Structure formats: structure tokens, C-alpha cells
Amino acid sequence: MHIVIIGGGFAGINLAKDLANQKGIEVTLVDKNNYNFFPPLIYQVATAFLEPSSISYPFRKFFAGKKNLKFRLGELLKVIPTENKIILNNGELHYDYLVFATGAETSYFGMENVKKKAIPMKTLNDAIEMRNALLKNLEKAAICKDIHERRKYLTIVVVGGGPTGVEVSGMFAEMRKNILLKEYPELQTSASNIYLIDGGDALLSPMSEDSQKDTLKAVTQLGVIVKLHTRVVDFKDDTVFLGDGKTIQTKNLIWAAGVSAKEFEGIPAESYGRGKRMATNEFNKVNATENIYAIGDTSIQLNDSNFPGGHPQVAQVAIQQGVNLAENFKRMVQNKPLKPFKYKNKGSMAIIGKNKAVVDLPTPKMHFRGFMAWMIWLFVHLMSLITYRNRINTFYHWMIAYFSKDQSLRMIIRPEKRTKGDL
């Protein structure tokens, strides 16, 4: 049995890991990057509190010694189900079973100007681009003589009141307080604002009401200006246009507002559900296909009675689906009945700043905030990193940042070739 997995995120890597050294099963994981990375912490790379290697690890290094696991660097272009074949940008592969674990991509809700000019927060490349952009804007602000122009460089607008938006705005607020004036004395008399914008009526809307209230209070105390019931409708000429007719002058629009799955040539139109997610049965087999499966953010399963509208697009769903599908592939080899997927909600959490976080646990139903929640968040995220090396490296940088209220990773690293006049 040859299984081809497209995508090496939470779902794909856990599926591959649980099939390692399994007799009768060969696995090829295909990804356009040669590394796995940990999305919940990319904002810390973007704000220069972690280095990229702290949250990433090469697939080939991870697969070393696992005889039935192979890696293929490539990007999927087309599926030919009648031939059990996929076409990549650098060749083709045959499969017995094909698994989509392609996650989701940033959605800009059709706003082309926002897509072109905003800074997304989805991939490790996005995080590095964001770090470079923000650091370059600080350097430009330091030499800018025009007060109004300087304020544009220093003002940050974060769109999206989910965990990523809350966490990145909180990090910016702490940087402004502990780092900015210390390292940029030229900006001591300059005004700057951090905005957090969301179209809903609360931050962290999927979490408990207690978490929502605690989060709003905490980010506001950090100096973040929160605008709820507010939509961004355009971004041009260094101006963010809001749905209520108001505007914000800035050169830094960070987009953490929405995601959408991807469509692939060769997959029948009737296989897709809401948000371009592939509709699957209780075993994660894609509807209207014979041997194609989908797990993680790219799938939507309506057979779980506890989640009739589909599972949330969160890491725990992806991890559990990867593990469950691995078990089912083993059962196929052994001619045993398959096990339907049932999501076990382990809770949700978000960090806001130093010693500030919120945690909701479903069983027993409990809510934590402040230092205790912050400690739980640190432990869970540390243990979720893929290797001991990542855990040790991340823990080391966190300890430096905690005691020094600083980090020494603010380097602008970029290709040598750049446009004339660019910093």
C-alpha cells in the first residue's frame, strides 16, 4: 500500500509519524517546503522573539531512520483519479491512497488592495517578511522628519480578533513599552497606536464569555485600541478604510482575519463543501471519490453528532484526524473494520502578554486567566513542538525574553538583490 500525503502540517506530519515503520505501508509526504513548522508560534518569529529554527524542522531529518517514509519537495498541480496519479510542478507520483492535508490559506474576502499590501500571518515566510517589514519601518521612522509620516510607520493595525490577532497585538504592545524607546531614542517623542479590529462583537469569539471579557480588559490595559463590530473594506495610499466610514493612517496592516481551503484540479466539484473544504464521511474519505482522503483544515466532516456544522479549523482536530486515519490505514492492511473519527475537545487558549493568558477547559468546565493560564499555555505549546531540539531552543529564548523583557533577534535578513533606494 502506497500512501501519498499532500501537506506536512499538523495533520500530515501526525499521519506520517504514526505510520512510521509499519509493515505493508509505504508513505510519501509531499510539501512545497522542506520543513514542518508550528503555526501557533509564527507571530513570535514575526516579532523577533523566536528564531525560525525554533519552530521548524526539516522533513528529511525527521524521517531519517524511518524506512517506509519518504519526502518529496514539490507543489501539487493536478490529480488524475482514474489513473491514481498526481502531477507535481517537478514530476508525477502514483498512489494507492491519496491524503490531502493541505491546511488553509489566508482569505482577503475579495479585497485586492488588502491582498497586495497587507502582511499575512499564515506561513513561516509570512513571519519573516513581517519581521523585516516592521523593522525596516522602524528604521525609516527613526530618520523621518515629518511627524505625520513618522506616525504612519509606527502605527500598527491588526485585523482579526482570534488567537493570532490577540497574541500579535499584545506582543506589539509589550515591545512598545519595553523595547522601542530603549533601542530607538529618536522616537521618544513620537506617538504610535496599535489597533485590533474585528467584525464580531467579541475577541476570541469561539471561547467562553469569561475569556472574551478577560482578553478585552487585558489588551486594553496594554494600550491596544480595540474596535469591534468593525470591518476593513480597503487599504490604499497608506490608509485603512473601515466599514463605518472612518480611516486609519498606517503603513502596517497585519491580516489575521480569515482563512479558506484550496481547490485542486481533478477533484470533483461535488466533493467540496463550505469554504472550499473537502467534504468527507466519518472515516475522512472525500465524497464522490474512491481512495482519496482529507484531514485537517482542508476537510469538513458533517457526520460527527457533536459538531453537525463541521469541526473547528484548529490544531487539535488536525492532529486527532491524522492519528485516527493512520489507525484506519493499519486496519485496512489487517482487514479490520475502520474506526470513525470523533473529535475530543481538549480546550482552547490564547496568550495576551507576559503573565497574561486565558484558558478554557471543557471537562471539567474550567476557566483560567492570568499567570496560571499563561503557564498552561507555555507548557502546552512547548510540548506540542515536534522535536526535543525545538522545545529546548524555544524554552531558552522564552526564558531570556521573560527575565530581560527583551530578545536579541531583531535582524533584518533579506536577499542581496533589492530595488534601488530600499533599506
Residue-number span of the structural domain to which 83 is assigned: 2-32+74-104+261-333
Q: Is the pLDDT of residue 421 over 60?
A: no
To the query of whether residue 167 is one of the catalytic residues in this protein, the response is: yes
Separation of alpha carbons 26 and 97, rounded Å: 10
Kindly state whether residue 404 falls inside one of the protein's structural domains. Answer: no
Residue 298 confidence (pLDDT): 95
Residues 232 and 304 in one domain: no
C-alpha cell belonging to residue 16: 506520517
Q: Is the pLDDT of residue 398 over 90?
A: no
Cβ contacts of residue 104 below 8 Å, gap of 6+? 122, 259, 260, 261, 262, 275, 297, 298, 313
What does DSSP say about strands 56-58 and 35-37: parallel, antiparallel, or unpaired? Answer: antiparallel
Separation of alpha carbons 125 and 408, rounded Å: 20
Cβ contacts of residue 305 below 8 Å, gap of 6+? none
Residues 233 and 295 in one domain: no
Last residue of a domain, one of 310, 333, 356: 333
Residue 180 confidence (pLDDT): 81
DSSP string, 326-338: HHHHHHHHTT---
Which of the two residues, 399 and 291, has the higher pLDDT score?
291
Residue 64 confidence (pLDDT): 94
Kindly state whether residue 411 falls inside one of the protein's structural domains. Answer: no
Single out the residue of 67, 25, 9, 7 nearest to residue 327, CA to CA: 25
Which of the two residues, 168 and 386, has the higher pLDDT score?
168
Separation of alpha carbons 385 and 390, rounded Å: 6
How far is CA 49 from each of CA 13, 55, 193, rounded to the nearest angstrom? 25, 12, 21
24 residue type, one letter:
G
Kindly state whether residue 129 falls inside one of the protein's structural domains. Answer: yes
Residues 202 and 230 in one domain: yes
What does DSSP say about strands 299-301 and 85-88: parallel, antiparallel, or unpaired? Answer: unpaired
Kindly state whether residue 124 falls inside one of the protein's structural domains. Answer: yes
Arithmetic mean of pLDDT, 401-414: 72
From the number of C-beta atoms within 10 Å of its C-beta (0-12, 13-18, 19+), residue 421 rates as: exposed
User: Is residue 364 reached through a cis peptide bond, with omega within 30 degrees of 0 on the bond before it?
Assistant: yes
Residues 167 and 251 in one domain: yes
Separation of alpha carbons 385 and 41, rounded Å: 10
H-state helical runs in 27-146: 42-46, 59-63, 112-117, 124-143
Last residue of a domain, one of 258, 281, 299: 258
Separation of alpha carbons 357 and 126, rounded Å: 24
Residues 164 and 210 in one domain: yes
Tally the domains of the chain.
2
Residues 207 and 237 in one domain: yes
Separation of alpha carbons 219 and 226, rounded Å: 8
Catalytic residue among 26, 105, 167, 270: 167
Give this prediction's pTM.
Answer: 0.90
Residues 275 and 329 in one domain: yes
> Which conformational region is residue 56 in: left (phi greater than 0), alpha (psi within -120 to 50 degrees), or beta?
beta
Last residue of a domain, one of 316, 333, 350: 333
Residues 269 and 254 in one domain: no
Kindly state whether residue 60 falls inside one of the protein's structural domains. Answer: no
CA angle in degrees (0–180, nearest 5) for 38-42-44: 125
Single out the residue of 160, 124, 210, 175 nearest to residue 353, CA to CA: 175
Kindly state whether residue 14 falls inside one of the protein's structural domains. Answer: yes
Single out the residue of 168, 165, 192 nearest to residue 180, CA to CA: 192
pLDDT category of residue 190 using cuts at 50, 70 and 90: confident
Q: Is the pLDDT of residue 245 over 70?
A: yes
255, β-bridge pairs: 120, 159
CATH number at residue 96: 3.50.50.60
Q: Is the pLDDT of residue 137 over 80?
A: yes
Arithmetic mean of pLDDT, 138-166: 93
Residues 209 and 270 in one domain: no
Which of the two residues, 413 and 298, has the higher pLDDT score?
298
CATH number at residue 229: 3.50.50.100
Residue 406 confidence (pLDDT): 67
Residues 246 and 306 in one domain: no
Helix (H), strand (E) at residue 324? helix 315-333
C-alpha cell belonging to residue 181: 524607546
From the number of C-beta atoms within 10 Å of its C-beta (0-12, 13-18, 19+), residue 40 rates as: buried
41 residue type, one letter:
L
Q: Residue 83 CB: number of other CB atoms within 10 A? A: 10
Kindly state whether residue 229 falls inside one of the protein's structural domains. Answer: yes
Residues 18 and 130 in one domain: no
Residues 251 and 265 in one domain: no
Residue 366 confidence (pLDDT): 92
Kindly state whether residue 250 falls inside one of the protein's structural domains. Answer: yes
